């Protein structure tokens, strides 16, 4: 007798096939088993979703296709993994099979039982022996934090009926958060459990990888991130899935790791925007970590010096438990924050300088003392735009509503949105004038100017351009650690995680831009970036006092005042008050509908109708929802495609979810009525609007 199975199959994006499909099988297959099944004319991968407890209908009209192949050698994906994927697909409005297959390693599709068996027989190369370190004794705040996590650990063991709340570990950089993670991990491992540690970007946090490897030298640690080769990713994923790996360290995609003995989740730098996937299923790995921990009754630790306002608000409400590390470990003090007021600086005769005189003096002092400085400028390239002073021509991108950035060393103009590049023209393409000017300043130009201002100083630069070649980032970081660089110029890449021991000065060259951005999250991101950058200075108490400099036209701004006092709670309180009165997250739930088309009017028409349908669905259900008019985002054209977006807002997350679920089929149907629409997507809990 043939059995009916529900299988989540890899469906093309937006095929409208949201759930699992029916297939027939002669054998009963356990839920979570990987299979290959026919879909249309293709054969695709799928995951058995529901148990086969009913026979396939036999009447003639019922043509269920049979399962083509079974990957029986792989232990089935467990119920908690399937719950997580189900939840994420539903919440982020994607197909079940689409998401399930997207978060599994691609190489898994190519495996069959024979290949799996060969893999299993192959002996794993002995890991290179690392020297184990010894855990330092914890200070009282750290000990209290570890104890709180430990009690959540035992509560999660199925003995207690109460669910441990998520834990927010709030502490400035250097306050010993990582040490708390390591101790908590040791306890979970000792209890026979696996540990999942999420980081925003693995290449920018090599020290955490090393610390984990050293502390748990006798355990198997695997990494999961997009920098792995497909074969490595499969191998590491399998190690987690079979339980051979005790620790998984990974970026956002690792939240979907199958870990049968999972006992603890740590999300380091939980506020970091990298936790939000920006294409396909636009999930937040941080939010899913909280959901997964609740669903598996495990402790989750969200660590940050500048928590997201969503997390902070939940801690204020008592839904998360806040654990605070108030001071830096040892004698290391936080850097003193100094504001340079451009309004007070004498105007130079020539072109404006990147570095105000008092900051230049401070840099010279560091040079004399043999200490390092870091200059942060969040804009790569030489200058953001090339400009003709006689006719006003500017280096616009022919394909985007953006400028092509002037890259001097490479001699190209390059668009950072579509990557279109052109040689730098000798003369103005419009009037032929030879006098072209670089307007504004990027890291490449800052590096050049510093070389003039500080003769003899060794200047280094770390940004996406200077580290494109393989191994270049590691080499450049190594040079900084080895003391071969006096002044480091960098984008936000260098603000994260690095433990530069000889750095006593950090300066933000031009941070004002984000103060008046139209994006309501811009101040939150700026504050986090500056706090994090400040954390690069003064990590070693033996180096003496350290400083964080800010060059600004707005020295009175509340954000800078809070930063000067290292007062995140005050900053958060004012931001949350603003958000509350404006009805913005975390006091409202948002979803962004995006649509792309050659013709902006097509995208707009689709969105307008989709918004109307959403409002109709909301009215039906009596759910509070506002659909705002469709608008063009700040960069409205990219690679010759017009982008439009429409914001859906509701005071209730559940109401918004209800409307999205109800309207999704409407939107799939609507698409066919709008010829020329290139693509559309829903972004639930969007980061930038
Ligand atoms: P964070 O993760 O908050 O930046 P870390 O855990 O990296 O802080 O700690 C900062 C530095 O202090 C590290 O060099 C770490 O080894 C050291 N450290 C942390 N806790 C202790 C402790 N209890 N005793 C001694 N050194 C510690
Ligand atoms: Zn011109
Ligand atoms: Zn472009």
Highest mean pLDDT among 161-175, 194-208, 658-672: 658-672
Comparing C-alpha atoms, which of 318, 297, 371 is closest to residue 537? 371
Ligand 1 and 367: CB distance under 6 A: no
Give the list of residues 6+ apart from residue 540 with CB closer than 8 angstroms, or none: 332, 501, 502
For residue 12, is the peptide bond before it cis, meaning its omega torsion is within 30 degrees of 0?
no
Residue nearest to atom 16 of ligand 1 (CA): 179
Better pLDDT: 3 or 289: 289
**pLDDT more than 90, % of the chain:** 75
Ligand 1 and 372: CB distance under 6 A: no
DSSP 8-state code for residue 631:
B
In the prediction, which pLDDT does 125 show? 60
pLDDT digits (tens, 9 = 90+) for 78-101: 999 999 999 999 999 999 999 999
Better pLDDT: 112 or 149: 149
In this structure, what are the phi and psi dihedrals at residue 42, rounded to the nearest 5 degrees?
Answer: -105, 170
> Averaged over 584-610, what is the pLDDT?
97
* Ligand 1 center from residue 609 Cα (angstroms): 55
203 touches 191 (CB < 8 A)? no
509 touches 551 (CB < 8 A)? yes
Ligand 1 and 497: CB distance under 6 A: no
Ligand 1 and 329: CB distance under 6 A: yes
Q: Is the pLDDT reported for residue 158 higher than 60? A: no
* Separation CA 16–CA 669 (nearest Å): 9
Question: Burial letters for 550-566: b for 16+ Cβ neighbours within 10 Å, e otherwise?
Answer: bbbebbebebbbbbeeb
Q: Is the pLDDT reported for residue 430 higher than 80? A: yes
Residue nearest to atom 8 of ligand 1 (CA): 176
In the prediction, which pLDDT does 3 show? 86
For ligand 1, mutation pick of 145, 207, 209, 329 (most atoms within 8 Å of CB): 329
Ligand 1 and 179: CB distance under 6 A: yes
646 touches 683 (CB < 8 A)? no
Q: For 71-80, 604-613, 638-647, which range has the lowest pLDDT when averaged over its residues?
A: 71-80
Alpha helices in 242-307 (DSSP H): 285-296
Pairing, β 637-638 against β 262-267: unpaired
Comparing C-alpha atoms, which of 74, 63, 70, 62 is closest to residue 37? 70
Q: Is the pLDDT reported for residue 207 higher than 90? A: no
Q: For residue 57, what pLDDT band results from cuts at 50, 70 and 90?
A: low
CA distances (Å), origin 235, targets 99, 109, 232, 389 = 21, 13, 5, 58
Q: Is the pLDDT reported for residue 141 higher than 90? A: yes
Give the list of residues 6+ apart from residue 545 with CB closer than 8 angstroms, or none: 333, 335, 336, 504, 538
Question: Burial letters for 22-39: b for 16+ Cβ neighbours within 10 Å, e otherwise?
Answer: ebbbeeebebbbbbbbeb
In three-state form (DSSP H/G/I as H, E/B as E, the rest C), the secondary structure along 378-423 is CCCCCECEEEECCCCCECECCCCCCEEEEECCCCEEEECCCCCEEE
Global confidence as pTM:
0.94
Say whether 162 sits in a helix, a strand or coil.
Answer: coil
Give the list of residues 6+ apart from residue 520 with CB closer than 8 angstroms, or none: 579, 582, 584, 689
Helix (H) / strand (E) element for 339: namely strand 336-341
pLDDT digits (tens, 9 = 90+) for 404-429: 999 999 999 999 999 899 999 999 99
Ligand nearest 143 Cα, by number?
Answer: 1
Ligand 1 and 313: CB distance under 6 A: no
In the prediction, which pLDDT does 565 show? 92
**pLDDT more than 70, % of the chain:** 94
Q: Is 145 exposed, middle or buried (0-12, 13-18, 19+ CB in 10 A)?
A: buried
Hey, what are 637's tokens? 């054209």
* Ligand 1 center from residue 293 Cα (angstroms): 26
Q: Is the pLDDT reported for residue 153 higher than 60? A: yes
* Separation CA 342–CA 380 (nearest Å): 23
Q: Which atom of ligand 1 lies closest to the CA of 171?
A: 3
Residue nearest to atom 23 of ligand 1 (CA): 138
For ligand 1, mutation pick of 137, 178, 212, 306 (most atoms within 8 Å of CB): 178
Angle between helices 177-190 and 206-215 (to 10 degrees): 40
pLDDT digits (tens, 9 = 90+) for 440-470: 999 999 999 999 999 999 999 999 999 999 8
> Averaged over 337-344, what is the pLDDT?
93
DSSP 8-state code for residue 444:
H
DSSP labels, 28-92: ---TT-EEEEEETTEEEEEEEEEEEEEEPP-STT--PPBP-EEETTSPPPPHHHHHHHHHHHHHT
Residues, CB within 5 angstroms of ligand 3 (ion)? 397, 399-400, 415, 417-418, 420
Ligand nearest 404 Cα, by number?
Answer: 3
In the prediction, which pLDDT does 651 show? 96
């Amino acid at each position: 007798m043939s059995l009916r199975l529900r299988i989540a199959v890899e469906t093309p994006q937006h095929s409208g096939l949201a759930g699992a499909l029916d297939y027939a099988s002669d054998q009963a297959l356990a839920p979570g088993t990987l299979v290959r099944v026919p879909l249309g004319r293709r054969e695709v991968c799928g995951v058995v979703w529901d148990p086969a407890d009913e026979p396939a209908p036999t009447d003639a009209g019922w043509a269920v296709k049979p399962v083509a192949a079974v990957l029986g050698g792989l232990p089935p994906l467990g119920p908690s993994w399937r719950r997580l994927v189900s939840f994420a697909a539903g919440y982020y409005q994607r197909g079940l099979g689409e998401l399930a297959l997207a978060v599994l390693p691609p190489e898994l599709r190519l495996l069959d039982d024979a290949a799996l068996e060969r893999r299993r027989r192959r002996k794993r190369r002995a890991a290179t022996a690392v020297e184990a370190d010894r855990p330092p004794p914890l200070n009282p705040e750290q000990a209290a934090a570890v104890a709180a996590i430990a009690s959540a650990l035992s509560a999660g063991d199925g003995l207690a009926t109460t669910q441990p709340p998520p834990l927010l570990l709030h502490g400035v950089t250097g306050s010993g958060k990582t040490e708390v993670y390591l101790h908590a991990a040791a306890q979970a491992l000792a209890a026979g459990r696996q540990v999942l540690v999420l980081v925003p970007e693995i290449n920018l946090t090599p020290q955490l990888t090393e610390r984990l490897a050293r502390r748990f030298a006798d355990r198997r640690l695997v990494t999961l991130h997009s920098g792995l080769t497909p074969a490595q990713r499969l191998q590491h994923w399998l190690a987690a899935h079979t339980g051979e790996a005790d620790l998984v360290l990974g970026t956002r995609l690792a939240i979907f790791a199958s870990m049968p003995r999972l006992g603890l989740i740590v999300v380091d730098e939980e506020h970091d925007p990298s936790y939000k996937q920006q294409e396909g299923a636009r999930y937040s790995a941080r939010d899913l970590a909280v959901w997964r921990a609740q669903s598996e009754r495990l402790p989750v630790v969200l660590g940050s010096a500048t928590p997201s306002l969503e997390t902070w608000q939940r801690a204020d409400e008592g839904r998360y438990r806040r654990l605070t590390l108030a001071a830096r470990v040892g004698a290391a003090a936080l850097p003193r924050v100094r504001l340079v007021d451009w309004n007070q600086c004498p105007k130079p005769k020539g072109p404006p300088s990147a570095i105000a005189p008092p900051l230049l003096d401070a840099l010279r002092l560091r040079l004399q003392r043999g200490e390092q400085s870091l200059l942060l400028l969040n804009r790569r390239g030489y200058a953001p735009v090339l400009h003709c002073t006689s006719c006003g021509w500017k280096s616009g991108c022919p394909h985007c509503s953006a400028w092509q950035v002037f890259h001097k060393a490479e001699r190209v103009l390059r668009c950072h949105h579509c990557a279109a590049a052109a040689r730098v023209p000798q003369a103005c393409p419009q009037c032929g004038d030879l006098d072209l000017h670089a307007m504004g300043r990027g890291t490449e130009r800052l590096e050049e100017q510093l070389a003039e201002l500080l003769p003899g100083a060794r200047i280094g630069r770390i940004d996406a351009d200077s580290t494109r070649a393989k191994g270049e980032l590691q080499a450049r970081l190594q040079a900084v650690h080895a003391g071969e660089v006096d002044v480091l110029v960098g984008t936000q890449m260098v603000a994260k995680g690095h433990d530069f021991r000889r750095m006593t000065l950090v300066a933000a060259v031009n941070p004002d831009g984000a103060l008046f951005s139209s994006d309501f999250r811009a101040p939150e991101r700026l504050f986090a970036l500056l706090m994090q950058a400040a954390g690069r200075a003064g990590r070693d108490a033996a180096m003496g006092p350290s400083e964080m400099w800010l060059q600004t036209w707005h020295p009175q701004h509340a954000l800078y005042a809070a930063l000067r006092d290292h007062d995140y709670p005050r900053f958060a309180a004012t931001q949350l008050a603003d958000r509350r009165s404006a009805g913005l997250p975390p006091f409202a739930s948002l979803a962004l509908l995006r649509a792309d088309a050659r013709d902006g009017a097509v995208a707009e028409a689709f969105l307008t109708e989709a918004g109307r349908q959403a409002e109709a669905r909301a009215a039906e259900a009596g759910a509070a929802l506002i659909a705002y008019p469709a608008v063009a985002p700040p960069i409205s054209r990219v690679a010759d495609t017009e982008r439009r977006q429409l914001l859906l807002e509701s005071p209730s997350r559940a109401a918004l979810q209800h409307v999205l679920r109800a309207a999704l089929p409407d939107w799939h149907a609507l698409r066919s009525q709008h010829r020329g629409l290139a693509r559309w997507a829903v972004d639930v809990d969007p980061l930038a609007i």
